[in-house]
Every structure is written in C-alpha cells, then in structure tokens.
Structure 1
Amino acid sequence: MSRKPVHLTRSDWASDDRLWKGVLQGRDIGTGVTVIFYATEKTGVGPRWHVHPYDEIFIVRTGRALFTIGDTKLEASAGEILLGPADIPHKYENLGPGLLETTDIHVSDRWIQTDLDDPELTAS
C-alpha cells in the first residue's frame, strides 16, 4: 500500500490568524493522530475538565500552565511535555503572565472528548 505525502497550509487547520489555534483531525489526512493547537493570552483560562478514551500528549510551546491530570497537579513551562493517559480526566490553565501555547497530540484519528464540568453532564 502506497501513501502520498500531505501538505497543509495554515488556512487548512488554523482558527486564528495570529495565534497558533486550531485542529487537525488525523482522519482528514489519513493518519491515526489528531493535533490541537491551543493558545490563550488570558491568565486562568484553559481547557475545561474533560476526558478522552485515548492518550493525549501535551507540549508546552510558550508560557506556563497548571495541569491537573487525575489527582495530580503539575506546573509546566515552555519546552516541557506531559502525558494525559486514556480515561483519566484532565484540564489545564494559563498561569501567565502572557501567552500560553500548547500543541496537544491526541492518539486517535479524531477528537473525542467528554466534558465533565458541564452541569447537564454531571447532574443526575
């Protein structure tokens, strides 16, 4: 089986003209990895408490963040890499000051996420 190279431009994945923000679904290019580029300049802001049925690798490109992965809290800064194991809830937030940029690698051909702090999901 022969596969061809894929070349994407920024407009193929980016959701912001200035910041590294956007999603590249692996299934769209024929691979088993999805990449999310996250960026925020707001201190205290980040992805909410959620879980995936696959591993996620976080690469902190710029700034500082507080990660909560299960019961563990970790501070990470530019150049550090963390693993969020499958089925373990996690979140992170910008510790500031300034820009936080991460590249989040989802070991899946598509982004599958269950938000856990949504009142409609947690109410029973």
Structure 2
Amino acid sequence: MTRRDFDPTTVVPDGRSPAKARLFDAALPGPYRGSVNGETLPTEVTILTYGNDEPGTGPVLHIHPYDEIFVVQQGRARFFVGDEVIDAEAGDVVLGPAALPHRFINLGPGRLQTLDIHLSPKWIQTNLD
C-alpha cells in the first residue's frame, strides 16, 4: 500500500541530529526497567517501560499534567482512569488524559509488559496512594 499523507516538500528539517538512548536493561530487576526523557533525544515525548509477573499488582494511583499513552505489549491489564475501568490486552493502546488519576494492574496469567508514552519532555508525576 502506498501512502501519501503529506507533501514532503512542505516540511523542512529543524536542525536536530539523529539521536539514540537506551530505554532498558532486560537484566535489571523490578517493574520499572528504564525511561528516556524526551529532552535526552531531544523531543517532546518521554518513554517508560513497565512490567511485572504478579497478577493483581501494578503502579500506584497517580496523576500527570499531560496525556499518557499505554501500549500493552504482553499480557492483560485493567486500567483505572478517572471513573472508567478499561480492560486491555497485548496489542491494545489506552489513553490516560492529562489530570485524570490513573493506575493499572496485571490481570494475568503471566507477565504484563507495557510501553508508557508521556507527552512531555520530562517524566512529571504525583502519586496519590
């Protein structure tokens, strides 16, 4: 399939060089294995990786001043976002809008692995639990 979503002649490079940052070390223990602040690359998006093998566990209730997008890469999760409950599985994407408290848990069986995209150049969070 050929895509032509925009005219390439209408965009101009902004002068940034390509960049690389290491997101995680798979040998590290614990659910949070790494993050890359957007300012490191430099961009306006911060990326985290989260995973656990224990059904019923997950991050504490927290809030951000920006949107967060969760990509479920492995397993199943239950997201609590504001007053909504959303079940998601590998391949699903969930939005946590700015200023809405949220958390999620591993529904099991097995590992839950997510890629969490923070629409901010820095990871900014207030835990509520």
Question: TM class by shorter-chain length?
Answer: 0.7 to 0.9
Match status 1:39 vs 2:80: no
Once the two structures are TM-superposed, the CA of residue 28 in structure 1 deviates from its matched residue by 1.4
Quote the Cα distance in structure 1 between the aligned partners of 2:49 and 2:33: 5
Quote the residue 1:87 is aligned against: 99
Match of 1:112 among 92, 101, 124: 124
Identity %: 46
Q: 2:68 pairs with 53, 56, 60, which one?
A: 56
Paired with 2:28 and 2:127, the residues of 1 have a C-alpha distance of: 27
- The answer to whether the Cα contact below 8 Å between 2:20 and 2:41 also exists between their aligned partners in 1 is no
Uncovered stretches (5+) of structure 2, i.e. residues with no partner: 1-13
Amino acid at match of 2:82: G
Q: Does the Cα contact within 8 Å between 2:23 and 2:49 map onto a contact in 1?
A: no
Q: Which runs of 5+ in 1 are unaligned?
A: 118-124
2:23 to 4, 8, 13: 13
Report if the CA contact (8 A) 1:42-1:96 is conserved. yes
- Alpha-carbon contact 1:69-1:88 (below 8 Å) kept: yes
- Number of the residue aligned with 1:26: 38
Aligned CA-pair RMSD: 1.6
Instruction: Give the alignment's TM-score, normalised by structure 1.
Output: 0.86
For the Cα contact (< 8 Å) 1:16–1:22, is it kept in 2?
no
The 3-state SS of whatever aligns with 1:13 is coil
The structure that is helix-richer by fraction is 1
Preserved contact between residue 38 and residue 47 of structure 2 (Cα < 8 Å): yes
Instruction: State the structure with more CA Rg.
Output: 2
Check the 8 A contact 1:68/1:90 in 2, yes or no. Answer: yes
Find the partner of 2:87 among 75, 92, 98. Answer: 75
Return structure 1 stretches of 4+ with deviation > 4 angstroms.
none
AA in 2 matched with 1:80: D
